[in-house]
Structure 1
């Protein structure tokens, strides 16, 4: 079997839809099958996966922590569309300073990026799968 490179595009919120969880399970399956997951691009409501203010109940799966573990353990880039993030209140340190806000809430391991990073993935990965 040939190993392929992948980028996933997640449009669904961290909770409230199944798309983000399905994307995470797909990511795990890719890695277990010997493929390389290069990056995950969070777009539209998918940027809510990057909030460090998400607090699931004790008996619920912590999807934000799961994405962070995927980043740490497999060097997967976690890119969030900056425009979609700012519209939804997901703010990194740089934007906090630039807009003179009181706090940031971008979870560690996630980075804010423009659509150029998604375009690059479309050109350089073997497969791009959207959830």
Structure 2
């Protein structure tokens, strides 16, 4: 009976370890989106620090840092609620947390694309028409 509890604990830690790997993969992907969303080539600003690049990118596309923050908040909340999940299996709890975090990131990226399209196709033509 005691061995069964140890196996369950070991499998729970294995599931948690796999989930943490997926979490870091998501964070790295979101950071790559921030870096790739730049209009200027990355080699033009070698003297800038990573923090100043992130601030500059967040000004260009503000929804990506919002998505990253939401992702981190949902994951933190999911990990905090891990203790009080009740009768819910750990795998189900982790899947629900992952889906919520992914929805936050996809929503932020979608709104970011819509925002950039608005700036490109609505604001720029108005500015060019006013300058003529």
TM-score in terms of structure 1 length: 0.28
More strand by share: 1
More helix by share: 2
Structure index of larger Rg = 2
TM-score in terms of structure 2 length: 0.27
The structure, 1 or 2, with the larger RCO (C-alpha pairs under 8 Å, 6+ apart) is 1
